[in-house]
Amino acid sequence: MKICPNCNAQLNDNDAFCQNCGTQMAPNQAPNQQYQPPVQPMVDPFDHTAEFDAKDISDNKVFCMLIYLMGIIGVIIALIASNKSDYVAFHVRQGLKFTVVEILVWIIAALTFWLLFLPIIAAVIISGILSVVKIICFFQICYGQAKEPYILRGLKFLK
């Protein structure tokens, strides 16, 4: 018995068309073989590497690395040195997200420090986590990638 790949109806081995939905059967389809749809490659919606020219990436890697190593100073250097690069512009936006989040964390910690210094400890931990994510971004640039950083992916400003 064959199985229709469209409606999963059981068919005779010599049927050329499905009697239920009319789908044409493959001539070499083996009996009792389940139809397997083609496997689609998984696409990372946060990976924007394909949007950039390979030459742009290779020419501007160093400036993008500075963004994650030096913070706002690196952002300024990257903007001045390579202001026409889309790859640099992408990483400048990500670097600015880091800067805004870090400033907000420390403002909140400073305004609530009277709660037994727990907000200060939390701000230090959050800053440490953001530093680890910056290091990950740095190494992604070394491989010529343009991925939105973990944790900051949900922030929709600076798109």
pLDDT at 44: 83
Asked if residue 151 has pLDDT above 90, the reply is no
* Radius of gyration in angstroms for the set of CA atoms belonging to the chain, rounded to a whole number: 26
Asked if residue 65 has pLDDT above 90, the reply is yes
pTM above 0.75? no
Contacts of 16 (CB under 8 A, 6+ apart): 24, 25, 27
Backbone φ, ψ for residue 147 (5° rounding): -110, 145
Asked if residue 67 has pLDDT above 90, the reply is yes
Count CB neighbours of 18 within 10 A. Answer: 20
15-45: pLDDT as tens digits: 888 888 888 877 655 555 566 777 778 888 8
51-64: pLDDT as tens digits: 999 999 999 999 99
